[in-house]
Structure 1
Amino acid sequence: MHLTPEQKAFYDENGYVLIPGLFTPEEAAAYRAEVHAIDARQGETNATWASVKGDTAIAHSHDVHFKSGAFTRLLTDARLTGIAQDIIGPNVQLHHTKMFIKPPERGSPFPMHQDYPYFPHRDHSMIAVILHFDDAPEEKGCLCAYPGSHKLGPLPAEGADHHVSQTDFPFDGATTVPAKAGDAIFFNYLTVHGSGINRSDEARTTLLIQLRDPADPQLNNRHASRGQGMMLAGIDPTIGEFKFAWENGDA
C-alpha cells in the first residue's frame, strides 16, 4: 500500500493524513484483543499528563513489540511500511511503540503538543502512526490537529508535559480527525495535535508507532526504548565497519 498523489499532497500541506482501512476490521479486532490482554497482564496504569490530572485515566504501555509477537510482526507489515516510506524515504527505522486504552466515560485527554520536545531530531524526519483498533469518533476523544502547524517548526514547550501554548493553540480550535477500526493516521512530529476525553460508553484502543530516517540523528538521549533502531524497511546507511561486541566494550 502506498499514498495516492492526493494523499501525499494532503500530508505535505497539513502535516497529517488519515488512511482508511489500512487493516481489516477483523485484524483490528485481533490487535485490540492483544492490547487489552497486555493491559490485563501488566496491571493498572495511568499515563494521564500532570497538566490534566483529575478523575480521568488512560492505560498505557511502551515497547509492546516485546510483549506480544503480534506487534513484532505488525511493525514490518508492508501496508504500514509502504506508506511510511512514501513520507520518510526508502529507509524506515523504529524509534518506539506504545499502546493506549482510553476507558469509557473517563478516558484522559492529551493537551495540544508537538512530539518534537520529547525526542528532537536534526532533520525532523520523525513521524507517528496511530493505528485504531476500535472506532474513534469525536465523543471517544479522537485525534485533533492543527493543519499546517508542522510548517511552523519547533514551538516553545510549556509545563512538565511540554505542551504548546493553550492560548495560541486552544483545543476548540483544532480539527477533529475521527477514525474507524482499522484506520491509521500518519503525522509529522512537528504537527500540533492532542485528543479529547473519552465520554462514550466504549474504550478507545490505539497503538502509536514512532518512525524515522536512520540517517537523521536524535539531538538528545531521552526516550530511549527497547528495540530502538530496528530497521522496518530499507537499510541503515550509517552502519560502519563490523566489530564484535567485546571490541566495542559492550560485553
Structure 2
Amino acid sequence: MTTLSTPRTDLDALADTYDEQGYVLVKGLLTPEEAAEYRARSHELIASLDRKDDPTWEAAASVAMGQKTSLQHLHDAQFYDAAYTRLLTDPRFTDVAAAVLRTPDVQLHHTKMFIKPPENGSPFPAHQDHPFFPHTHHRVAAAIFHFDDAPEVKGCVRIAPGSHREGPREHSEEGGFHLPDFPMDQLEPMEAEAGDVLFFTYLTVHSSGVNVSDEARTTWLVQFRDPADPPLTTQHDHSLGQGLMLAGSDPTGRAGTA
C-alpha cells in the first residue's frame, strides 16, 4: 500500500505515485482532534436532518450479523455547515488536489458524507466513478476524508492499484454501475486512521466492505476536477456547488456550470 507521511511531503513525488498507482493515501492531513470534531459534526448533522433514505446499491445488498446492511449519507454537507466549506479550501487539501491533477486550478464537482452504521454498514461493489460523470481527458479525482479510524473490519475502501491505466471499463447497470467480474484479489484494503485522506482517480477500480465492527465508519467524499476538462454528459448538472473553484481559477469561463 502506497502512503505518504504528510500532505507537505514532496508534491511531485506524490503526483508521480498517483500517476503510477492511481491513488495515494496521505497520512495525517487532519489532526486527530480535527477529525474528531468533523466526526461529531457529521453525526449531529445527519441526526438533525432525520434522513431516512438509504443509498445502499442493490448490487451491494448483503446481510451481516443477521441483519440487512444499511448506510446513511448526505450530499453536499457544505450547504448545511460552514465547517465543510472551510475544509474544501484548506490548503492542506487543495495543495494535494492540485498536485495529483497537475494543475493549480481545482474545481469542485460534488461531495457526499457517508456513515456506515456498526455491525451492518453497507459495502460498495467494485466500480469506477467514471460512468457516473465521464469527462473528456479524465482529469477527475476523489478524496475520501476519514473522520474516524477505518480498519478492514469497519469496511474500509479497497483499491486496485494500477487499474486506472486500462481506462474506462464496461460496467453492469443491473443494481447500480459495478464490475461484477472484477477479480476481488486485486482489491487491496486501504486501512486508514482518523485524519487520513485517500486520493484516487475516477478511473481507479475501488470498492469497500461491510462494517461488522461495533463502531460507525464516518467519511466525507469530495469529487474534484481540472476545470479545463470538459464533461461528456449532463446527468450531474444538478450537483449543488458544482463549478466552485477550490484553488486557482477557471480558465474556461464555465464557472458554475457542468
**TM over 0.5, shorter chain:** yes
SS in structure 2 of the partner of residue 120 of structure 1: coil
Check if 1:208 corresponds to 2:218.
no
Count, aligned residues: 239
Partner of 1:30: 37
Give me the TM-score of the superposition, normalised by structure 1. Answer: 0.92
Is the contact between residue 58 and residue 100 of structure 1 (CA under 8 Å) also seen in structure 2?
yes
Partner of 2:158: 144
Separation in 2, partners of 1:18, 1:50: 29
Is the contact between residue 142 and residue 196 of structure 1 (CA under 8 Å) also seen in structure 2?
yes
Unaligned runs of 5+ in 1: 241-251
CA displacement, residues 50-71 of structure 1 (integer Å, 9 cap, x when unaligned): 1122410010010111011100
Is the contact between residue 109 and residue 196 of structure 1 (CA under 8 Å) also seen in structure 2?
yes
CA displacement, residues 185-224 of structure 1 (integer Å, 9 cap, x when unaligned): 0000000000000010000000000000111111111123
Computing the radius of gyration from Cα coordinates, the structure with the larger value is 1
2:58 to 35, 47, 50: 50
Task: Give the letter aligned to residue 69 of structure 2.
Answer: T
Partner of 1:195: 208
Task: Give the letter aligned to residue 73 of structure 1.
Answer: R
Larger displacement relative to structure 2 (123-132 or 221-230): 221-230
Is the contact between residue 14 and residue 100 of structure 2 (CA under 8 Å) also seen in structure 1?
no
C-alpha deviation, 1:2, in angstroms: 4.0
Separation in 1, partners of 2:25, 2:41: 23
Task: Give the letter aligned to residue 123 of structure 2.
Answer: P
- Aligned-pair identity in percent equals 54
Is the contact between residue 2 and residue 86 of structure 1 (CA under 8 Å) also seen in structure 2?
no
Separation in 2, partners of 1:61, 1:215: 28
Partner of 1:162: 177
Task: Give the letter aligned to residue 96 of structure 1.
Answer: H
CA displacement, residues 111-130 of structure 1 (integer Å, 9 cap, x when unaligned): 00000000000010000000
SS in structure 2 of the partner of residue 38 of structure 1: helix
C-alpha deviation, 1:37, in angstroms: 1.2
Written as runs of structure 1 = structure 2, the 5 A alignment for 1:61-210 is: 61-88=74-101, 89-158=103-172, 159-164=174-179, 166-167=180-181, 169-210=182-223
Unaligned runs of 5+ in 2: 1-6, 63-67
Task: Give the letter aligned to residue 145 of structure 1.
Answer: I
